Copies of this chain bind each other. A is one copy, B any other.
């Protein structure tokens, strides 16, 4: 008996190691391979400034990826993240430029608004029992329409909010550590990822999200208020989309109301490449960030290599499949 216990507990330990850590490690290997490939074959790829460029190009997709990771782990999907980002950017514009609110209030307002809209998606899914795909497809349209309505279909500029650039293009860290020119938007992405990772793995919120995604019925029968946690999950996603909205609008110094369509698929791809399972219950924020990096290294590398637009699209499509394939194969081996 003792023997069995020992054996199975050893088994269990290494299994746990497998699913959580190796999963990220796998995506990481793909990323390193891509970096090495482009470093060798794309002249001018491996420079610090290009790395900063890649990081900056990752920020928005990375943050949106984290948003959708919450939802996917909970067993849902969120197609509205792209246009929700746009809508919150517009709301930030209204609060800051049109209403002249101070910067911190505007930031909080935009994020809360994102969370509010997200919770509407969540409520529609939880109480009206609409499948998440449809509820968020509807919300994707609603957010896009509202972004156009609120903005009058013209960009809102942040010229009257001089510090708005702090939210993304400016690099505050370079003031502390000279030479480390990492833009704040990238740092915000890492901060969002770090907090999200803790929320998912260490807190009660994360536990409930994993439980929902693993077996919602079992969670319900265990006395968990499934609907409330579901709403919270979509609210978190919406709030994080708000952060993405701030980053993108700070970078463009304007809220562009027509942006965002199609961003949802990139974000979902980042999450899945990073090992998040579309059937729920499995995923990590770190994996998603690595997935987002894989996608932007790929895009950047192909651009720097000067690959033709058409072929770039083809290759990107193929590599998404290959990256997930490598992930699956290595994970099976591990």
| Contact surface of A with B, Cβ cutoff 8 Å | 79, 124, 128-131, 133-135, 137-146, 148-149, 153, 261-262, 265, 268-269, 272-273, 277-279, 309-318, 320-321, 324-325, 328
Distance (Å) between the CB of A272 and the closest chain B CB? 5
- A67 CB, nearest partner CB in chain B, Å: 17
State the CA gap A265–B311 with chains docked (Å).
24
Bound CA–CA A314/B146 (angstroms): 7
Are B272 and A313 in touch, CB under 8 angstroms? no
Q: Which of A79, A130, A279, A316 has the most CB of B within 10 A?
A: A130
Q: Which chain B residue shows the least CB distance to A133?
A: B278
- Determine whether the beta carbon of B313 is less than 8 Å from that of A138: no
Cross-chain contact B324 with A144 (CB below 8 angstroms):
no
Identical chains in the assembly: 2
Q: Is A130 in contact with B317, judged by CB distance below 8 angstroms?
A: no
B317 A131 Cβ-Cβ under 8 A: no
The residue that A140 contacts in the complex, of B129, B140, B317, B325, with Cβ under 8 A, is B317
Sample 23 A-B pairs with CB under 8 A, ordered by A number.
A128-B328, A130-B325, A133-B278, A134-B269, A134-B272, A134-B273, A134-B320, A135-B321, A137-B265, A137-B317, A139-B317, A141-B314, A141-B316, A141-B317, A141-B318, A141-B320, A142-B314, A142-B317, A145-B316, A146-B310, A146-B314, A149-B314, A153-B310
Which residue of the partner chain, among B148, B278, B318, contacts A131 with CB atoms under 8 Å?
A: B278
Contact of A321 among B130, B262, B279, B312 (CB under 8 A): B130
The docked-state distance in angstroms from the alpha carbon of A325 to that of B138 is 12
Complex Cα distance A130/B331, Å? 13
Q: Is the CB of A148 within 8 A of B278?
A: no
Q: Which residues of B lie under 8 Å from residue A320 when comparing CB positions?
A: 134, 137-138, 141
Q: Told that A124-B321, A138-B321, A142-B314 touch, could you supply 4 new A-B pairs with CB distance under 8 A? A: A131-B272, A141-B314, A149-B314, A153-B310
A324 touches B130 (CB 8 A): yes
Q: A148's contact among B128, B262, B313, by CB below 8 Å, is which? A: B313
* Chain B, residue nearest A80 (CB): B317
Q: Is B134's CB under 8 angstroms from A321's CB?
A: yes
Q: When the two chains form the complex, which single residue of B144, B265, B273 contacts A313, counting CB atoms closer than 8 Å? A: B144
Q: When A and B form their complex, which 9 residue pairs have the shortest distance between CB atoms, in order from nearest?
A: A141-B317, A145-B314, A145-B313, A138-B321, A142-B317, A148-B310, A138-B317, A138-B320, A149-B310
A317 to B80, CA, bound (A): 11
Shortest CB-to-CB span from A30 to chain B, Å, is 14
Please give, as numbers and ranges, the residues of chain B lying within 8 Å of A273 by CB-CB distance: 134
Q: Are B265 and A317 in contact (CB under 8 A)?
A: no
Question: With the chains together, A312 CA to B146 CA distance in Å?
Answer: 10
Are B79 and A131 interface neighbours, CB within 8 A?
no
